[in-house]
Homo-oligomer: A and B are copies of this chain.
Amino acid sequence: MTNPVNRQWLLARRPVGSIVPEDFSYSESTPPEPGENEVLVRSLYFGFDASQRIWLTDHGGYLPAVGVGDPIRTMGIGQVVASRHPGYAEGDLVEGFLTWQDYNIARADGPMPLRVLPRSDDMPMTWHLGVLGVGGLTAYFGVTDVLKVGPGDTVVVSAATGATGSLVAGICKAMGADRVIGIAGGAQKCRWIVEHAGYDEAIDYQSEDIGARLAELCPEGVSAYFDNVGGDMLDTLLLHMAPRGRILICGAMSSGYTDVQLQGPRNYMFICVKMLSVQGILLTFYRDRLQEGVEQMGRWIAEGKLNVAESVVEGFEHAPSLLPTLFTGKSPGKLVLKVADPV
């Protein structure tokens, strides 16, 4: 630990449209010293999430924008190497907001402080970024608390191979849903969600007419739609919702999360005439119930009701090139970058 190098990926400029390598710059520094009530955390894993793209816009979306010249914000797992806060001990594994650096200073008084991971745990550590992290818990609370999926429900899920979408079918089935239909791009992904992610049916948006397939698969209408995509797909679903159906707005991947003005749902008057319920979800609203989610998801995994998919890439240098693959195509499940091993 003498004079370690702190590698950093900084925001070189605000991306316009798709992310390109020139939007980032590489830098090195020495690790900072933690002040009173602060901890110094060494990065082990970074998770990749589409919302990172929003944080790079000049408004930042629902969090402060990442400043030009600043390291890129990420969800990550790290290890405490020095602590001046009583809640964290040297060696603790922690999960939460980090940045693309080897070393981060963290405070415990923010809205989402770093969470200390259990010392003994039969789960792979990376799962705390996926199935037990933001994507997995958003799926959990989205299905159980917002959509309140249960027996009788026909659920449709967009971006069904994503870190969130790949878990939704399993949760819906555990809650007793009659049928869960996933929308994904390409025959291979459609096969994957049926064979590995608990979906009953798949619709391939690249080669099929989504509306026609929904009419065929759900003649009584869709009772619950877990929307990760927005755009034209949301408009198509609005046409095929059952009376009093529920929609969860979880994301809008179709927008690419750039600065471009979002396409609002032009068919939104069906909310009125079918008396639909459209709700959003943001995990910060569940900060007091996260442990409940982690425990229930853990039980379902142990019972074989959830299949966890992730791909782990190794090497700090790959961070900038991995981020755009969230929008251009990647393996199913959670994408994680391994930066270092714990000591």
Which residues of A are in contact with B by a Cβ distance under 8 Å?
Answer: 61-62, 230, 235, 243-244, 249-252, 255, 261-282, 285
Contacts and interface: CB of A to CB of B under 8 A. Distances in A.
Contact of A281 (B251, B272, B281): B272
A250 B272 CA distance: 6
Contact of A276 (B243, B272, B273, B280): B280
A279 B282 contact: no
Nearest to A265: B264
A278 B277 contact: yes
Contacts of A263: 264, 266
B277 A279 contact: yes
A282 B272 contact: yes
Given A278-B278, A278-B279, A285-B243, A269 B262 contact: yes
Q: How many copies does the complex hold?
A: 2
A275 B62 CA distance: 11
A268 B250 CA distance: 11
A277 B277 contact: yes
B265 A249 contact: no
Nearest to A62: B273
Contacts of A279: 271, 275-278
B266 A267 contact: no
Contacts of A62: 273
B271 A249 contact: yes
Contacts of A277: 277-280
Given A249-B272, A272-B282, 17 more contacts: A61-B273, A62-B273, A230-B268, A230-B269, A249-B271, A250-B272, A252-B272, A255-B269, A262-B266, A262-B269, A264-B264, A268-B268, A270-B280, A271-B279, A271-B280, A275-B280, A275-B281
A280 B264 CA distance: 17
A249 B262 CA distance: 20
A273 B282 CA distance: 6
Contacts of A230: 268-269
A73 to B, nearest CB: 16
A264 B273 contact: no
Contacts of A61: 273
Given A277-B277, A279-B278, A285-B243, A264 B272 contact: no
B266 A274 contact: no
Select the residue from A252, A261, A264, A271 with max chain B CB neighbours within 10 A: A264
